[in-house]
Amino acid sequence: MTDLLEAQAVSIAVGGATLVDAVSLQIGAGEMVAIAGPNGAGKSTLLRMLSGDLRPSRGTVRLKQRDIHAYGPRALAQHRAMLSQHVNVSFPFTVEEIVTMGAGESPRAAARGLVEAVLDEVGLTHFRARQLPTLSGGEQQRAHFARVLVQLACGEARHGPGLLLLDEPTSSLDLRHQLDLVEIARRRAQRGTTVIAILHDLNLAMRFADRILLLHRGRLAIDGDRATVMRPETIRQIFEIDATIQHTDHGVPFLLPQTMRPI
């Protein structure tokens, strides 16, 4: 498997505090990777470095064998798409206008069919004429996800499979739409897109991710498949709770937290 993204000992410090400390990883084309860990572990900071939005204090990030900071902003947007944790839009753009923005400089006529398909995929076709600020938080999140999917598709049409980064994409979604979103991301990975998502729900991570990265105090504590990572002793060490790992009748693992450990 070809590495689409590589981080070599990336670190970043702000105000004397090290937020991410010497994290190295290689992620192949078509992998779906979940990043998890306690609050303040450095997840969003790491994702922003992997996206090129933040420059590491030390170390390098390479996208498609090229230093990510060697890409100009327009070129980078054609190779990777990122859904940030908080996206605030106060202007009265409609849902369709927001989603169409993902097409960037692509001809609007060529993007129209793509916008239609993505609106249907995220379940917002009937909201297309609504102004974004009038929607619920979860509906707005789905609109921004649709915009990012359009950006990703336009870039991949020119340059082949790219990188999709999602920062806590399910935080404002109900259970059904959480599953819908990660299933959509999973389908993209099956087509060759590399997907990296910060997920607080470890059960979602176990169900959909090929690999799970656990961060702890800015360091990469463990990196592996769900059987390797999701063990009671690991959960106790990283999250300071006791938990059991059980399985559904179909063999899908799920985690049950038990008791809080004294700190």
Q: Domain-by-domain residue ranges, the chain?
A: 3-230
Determine the pLDDT at residue 92. Answer: 86
Q: Kindly report, residue by residue over 132-169, the tens digit of the pLDDT.
A: 999 999 999 999 999 999 999 999 999 999 999 999 99
Q: What pLDDT score does 101 carry?
A: 93
C-alpha 169: how far from chain center: 7
Taking only the tens place, the pLDDT of each residue in 7-19 is 999 999 988 899 9
Angle at 148 between CA 44 and CA 76, to 5 degrees: 75
Which position has the higher pLDDT, 246 or 118? 118
The single-letter DSSP state of residue 102 is: T
Rounded CA separation 201/95 (Å): 28
Class at the top of the CATH hierarchy for domain 3-230: alpha beta
Given a cut of 80, is residue 64 above it in pLDDT?
yes
CA atoms within 13 A on the CB side of 87: 23
